[in-house]
Amino acid sequence: MPGTRNKIVLLAVCALAGCSPATIRRVEIETPAPPPPSPTPLYVPSKRLDTARLFNGIQIHSEVVTEKGETATVERQTPSSYVLNLEVKVNVPKPSTELHQLQALNDQLPAALPGLEGMLATPKVSHFYDDFYRIKVESLQQNLVRLDQLLSRHHFYDCETILELEHPKTKRRALLIQAGMDVDTDGSDGDRIPEVDASSSTFQPTTSYHWPKKTAIPNPFLPAYEARLAQAETDAETVERPQDLRAALPGLRDEVNQLKKKSFLVASADPYVVLPGFMLSPAGSPFTPKLGDFCVVIYKNTFYPAIFGDVGPSDKLGEASLRLSREIDSRANANFRPVGELKVSYLVFPGSALTPAGPPELDKWSERCAALLNEIGGYKGELHAWVDLTKPSPTPSPVPSPSATPGESPAVSAAPSITPAVTATPGISPAPSPL
């Protein structure tokens, strides 16, 4: 019929992204209906722009451009006659450097850190910030042909700023990182916790921060990893197996060796933060953090003592252990982040780690973090007091009730013992929660 338009449903982007058609909004590109036949064929170019949105928040601009070509037989043999061009356009954010910008994210921060305003009088953006977004752009370039592996909008814009702070009097240095908070679930320690929850699909039994084992109790994951190594060594000898399996053997052997000799932080019991691997260099720089350095996590006006305990991917930032995450939001798990917006402040104190490394002593961690905060001007708010979940709760002495009658036994209320969720069976994914 005259005036009728044909509708073309574009599913190519979804196929490239490796997702189902339901994952993105169907995109309809309308092209004019072919003109009525005439003695001289009329070429009608079509160019219409529409948008869709991928599952990871990237906006897709798609267009179909037609040009007059040769015969179908010729064009079938011409690679450039039928092409999909991919281009990612991204705005690289500038860092926040002024107090009012940080106050917009946490209106209690200036009062909670009285010395912050003075240290921000001459703000210095850390080179880590520029390095971080350069790494993100490189990641986009490397994964351009794999749309399902591109950083999501949430993770590309996961860092508001990284500032180098130095108190004018004490000369105490700190890195101020403003970000959100994702959840890390890694770590195991047979000495302190015989079994840990390994249900997360990203779970690893080791953390970057570790220390020599104190007992002969084996790591709960050692048998499974020894079996995995033995199977890999057997498979590597068969001609059917790919060469990359042999290349993976040294890493598996190292993991087994570490599980035999080392103990690690446990995400469900220990408060720690994760920093991207690139931040460990350059070594020797006064603001380069090291594993074990103390970190105070600030959310609203509460201060959470922690350490830098694990190394994460170099293109993501803003992650804390499950224990710390659940203090902010009890619903937190591997699939539910406690803080999605960039409202968490991480104060990392370079060069503050205790040596040698050892099991967490949470009381000492709190004392050390309080002292470090005082060296940058003090703090006003609650310094969270951690309870050691790896030790039984003390049973208080019986205290007579005020209404107790002489000769009667008063009721005794003992503090409940808190036991972390336990299972040593990896590979079982928890029910998903919204991210």
Give pLDDT, residue 245. Answer: 75
Write the DSSP assignment of 387-431 as a string of letters. Answer: --TTSPPPPPPP---TTPPTTSPPP--PPPPP----B--TT-PPP
Which of 193-197, 209-213, 284-288, 412-416 is predicted with the least confidence, judged by mean pLDDT? Answer: 412-416
CB 62 within 8 Å of CB 13: yes
Note the maximum CA span of the chain: 116
CB 322 within 8 Å of CB 332: yes
CB 146 within 8 Å of CB 152: no
**Which residues, 6+ apart, have CB-to-CB distance to 302 below 8 Å?**
381, 382, 384
**Which position has the higher pLDDT, 361 or 53?**
361
Question: In 262-395, which residue ranges form alpha helices assigned H by DSSP?
Answer: 322-328, 362-374
**Helix, strand, coil shares, percent, the chain, to 5:** 25, 20, 55
CB 147 within 8 Å of CB 12: no
Give pLDDT, residue 33. Answer: 54
Give pLDDT, residue 118. Answer: 96
Mean pLDDT computed over every residue of the chain: 83
Identity of residue 354: L
List of E strands, 117-266: 124-125, 159-166, 173-184, 210-212, 262-264
Distances (CA, A) of 410 to 46, 414, 415: 87, 13, 16
Three-state secondary-structure class, residue 27: strand
Strand partners, 294: 307
Q: What does the block give as tokens for 335?
A: 């699939």
**Which residues, 6+ apart, have CB-to-CB distance to 331 below 8 Å?**
338, 433
Give pLDDT, residue 15. Answer: 43
User: 54-67, pLDDT tens digit by residue?
Assistant: 667 787 778 899 99
Identity of residue 422: V
**Rounded to two decimals, what is the model's pTM?**
0.78
Give pLDDT, residue 391. Answer: 86
The CA distance from 378 to 384, in Å, is 15
Packed helices 222-236 and 243-261: angle between N→C axes, nearest 10 degrees: 160
How many CB atoms sit inside 10 A of residue 408's CB?
Answer: 10
CB 342 within 8 Å of CB 105: yes
Q: What b/e sequence results for 180-191 when a residue is b if at least 16 CB atoms lie within 10 Å of its CB, and e otherwise?
A: bbbbbbbbbbbb
Across residues 118-123, what is the average pLDDT? 93
Q: How does strand 173-184 pair with strand 159-166?
A: antiparallel
| φ, ψ dihedrals at 173, nearest 5° | -100, 150
Give pLDDT, residue 360. Answer: 98
Comparing C-alpha atoms, which of 197, 202, 247, 252 is closest to residue 224?
252
CA geometry: angle 178, 181, 187, nearest 5 deg? 125
pLDDT value at 43 more than 60: no
The CA distance from 26 to 56, in Å, is 16
Residue 430 exposed, middle or buried by CB count within 10 Å (0-12, 13-18, 19+): middle
**Which residues, 6+ apart, have CB-to-CB distance to 339 below 8 Å?**
180, 181, 299, 328, 329
Q: Identify the helix (H) or strand (E) that includes residue 138.
A: helix 127-142
Q: What does the block give as tokens for 15?
A: 């196929």
User: 264-302, pLDDT tens digit by residue?
Assistant: 999 999 999 999 999 999 888 999 999 999 999 999 999
